[in-house]
Amino acid sequence: MNTSDQNVPENSLFRDANSENPFPLFAKLRAMSPVIPIPNPMGGTGQTWMVTRIEEGMQVLKDHIRFTVDRSSIDGNSNSKKTLVDKVDPSAPPTFFTGNSMNFVDEPDHRRLRMLVSKAFTPKYMESLRPRVQEIADELIDRVQGQGEMDVVKDYAYPLPINVISEMLGVPQADRAQIHAWSESLARGLGVGVQEPWVAEHMRAFGEYTMQLVADKRKHPSNDLISQLIAIEEEGDRLREAELISMITLLIFAGHETTSNLIATGTLMLLDHPTQMEKLKADFSLVPSAVEELLRFNGPVTSPGPRFATRDVELAGQQIKKGDMVLVMLKSANRDEGKFTQPEELDITRKINRHLAFGHGIHMCLGAPLARVEADIAFTTLLRRMPNLRLSIPRESLTWHFKLNSQGLATLPITF
């Protein structure tokens, strides 16, 4: 179908795509076409394309020859490198938004950077962390067990992953609340074509904190991932200082932000589908498949970073020009009627061969094995120890925060 004549709602498109329930909009867009031209959210002159279905989404995400995350590699203009951050003090320390992090480079730099940390994120190593993740989950439940109520977001979904990634990296306990505050600010203040005024200040503070943390680890190395990365950087040929700082800020931010959303939103999805939750409580061996279904049904990321066409290319009958921006809508692709049976239904026993909640291709989420272990333990522990959990406020009273590339619950108060 030729979609050039279709009425894609310019003013509401991105707001609706990040609303609590973007799925009716995505269903309409999938029915129009797998690849749809939309207004440029950054206000530029080039065309932007939205990919709504899974096959075309996989094509874009895995093809780093025809589609790149680094816009400057197309036009040679280093000022065009970042698509999310354009108002930042050049003297500020680098972060993964502004430096050469894995998110914003392709081969060969991407392979070099990813290899430096990939050994710490293998499924085997993540499984070795399971006892400690279980301890943290139980400690968090212990704190609220006698109260009969809790906020799943603040008491459980946030502190569980941030404590896990902080212990891996060697971030002091006393600093974790501040890191969460910075992460929340960046997630809520940034988006494609959006940058709130406070972002630059918080980004600078996050970068300066990370530089100081690295300086402290240089003097007092220990058995943590930051100390290992510093040792690599000091070898001099595989990691530069700016890359080191960018890498650490990326691991801190990505290591807890999306997993927190998965745990909180997933809990709400189960509360919204009590038959599925009862099925899960009756058989905890279903938790791993339930996690995959929750990722598919309403995963933590709406769209990964934009891709840019490196050359003129045809995709699903659309003529995409060199330099055009392409946005793959993961949440839409994961409800593709051509891939999934009854995709709008939550079914924790669903056999899923592939979903795109963690992305695809060379930029697929490095922390996916960790997120799966954390979610497995989080849901099992919560439902085992609080089998009678229920919302303590009306469903319509829940508040959502619209973030960088997704949305998350501000709170999720329950009684048990």
pLDDT of residue 87: 53
Q: What's the rounded Cα separation, in Å, for the pair 360 and 377? A: 25
DSSP assignment letter at 380? H
Which span out of 167-176, 298-307, 330-339 was modeled with the highest average pLDDT? Answer: 330-339
H-helix or E-strand spanning residue 229: helix 225-235
Q: How far is C-alpha 155 from the chain's CA centre?
A: 20
Q: How much of the chain is in helix, strand and coil states, percent to nearest 5? A: 50, 10, 40
Considering the entire predicted model, what is its pTM? 0.90
In the chain, the percentage of residues whose pLDDT exceeds 70 is: 86
Q: Is residue 205 classed exposed, middle or buried when 0-12, 13-18 and 19+ CB atoms within 10 A define those classes? A: middle
The fold adopted by the segment(s) 13-415 is Cytochrome p450 (1.10.630)
pLDDT band at 305 (very low <50, low <70, confident <90, very high): confident
Q: Please answer whether residues 83 and 194 qualify as being in contact, where contact means their C-beta atoms are separated by less than 8 angstroms.
A: no
Q: What's the rounded Cα separation, in Å, for the pair 280 and 270? A: 9
Tell me the sheet residues that pair with 51: 35, 328
Instruction: Calculate helix-pair angle for 257-272, 287-298, nearest 10 degrees.
Output: 100
Dihedral through CA 124, CA 129, CA 131, CA 137, nearest 10? -130
pLDDT in tens, 343-357: 999 999 999 999 999
Q: Please answer whether residues 110 and 225 qualify as being in contact, where contact means their C-beta atoms are separated by less than 8 angstroms.
A: no
Q: Please answer whether residues 188 and 201 qualify as being in contact, where contact means their C-beta atoms are separated by less than 8 angstroms.
A: no
Give DSSP secondary structure letters for 23-84. HHHHHHHHHH-SEEEE--TT--SS-EEEE-SHHHHHHHHH-TTTEES-THHHH--GGGS-SS
What's the whole-number mean pLDDT along residues 24-32?
95
Q: Which of 384, 403, 59 is closest to 260 using CA atoms?
A: 403
Q: Please tell me whether residue 313 adopts helix, strand or coil conformation.
A: strand
DSSP assignment letter at 96? T
Tell me the sheet residues that pair with 407: 402
DSSP assignment letter at 396? G
Between the alpha carbon of residue 271 and those of residues 258, 294, 308, the distances in Å are: 20, 12, 39
pLDDT in tens, 161-174: 999 999 999 999 99
H-helix or E-strand spanning residue 369: helix 368-385
pLDDT in tens, 348-383: 999 999 999 999 999 999 999 999 999 999 999 999
Q: What are phi and psi of 339, to 5 degrees?
A: -110, -35
Contacts of 135 (CB under 8 A, 6+ apart): none
Q: What's the rounded Cα separation, in Å, for the pair 410 and 264? A: 9
Asked whether residue 249 carries a pLDDT value surpassing 70, the answer given is yes
Torsion 379-384-390-392 (CA) sign: negative
* Residue in the structure block whose two tokens are 């993740």: 133
Q: What's the rounded Cα separation, in Å, for the pair 248 and 252? A: 6
Between the alpha carbon of residue 14 and those of residues 92, 304, 409, the distances in Å are: 30, 14, 18
End-to-end CA distance of the chain: 51
Asked whether residue 388 carries a pLDDT value surpassing 70, the answer given is yes
Contacts of 145 (CB under 8 A, 6+ apart): 385
pLDDT of residue 2: 40
pLDDT in tens, 253-293: 888 888 999 999 999 999 999 999 999 999 999 999 999 99
Mean pLDDT score of the chain:
87
Contacts of 85 (CB under 8 A, 6+ apart): 97, 98, 190, 195, 199, 203
Joined together, the tokens standing for residue 308 give: 């840019």
Q: Which of 323, 326, 351 is closest to 45 using CA atoms?
A: 323
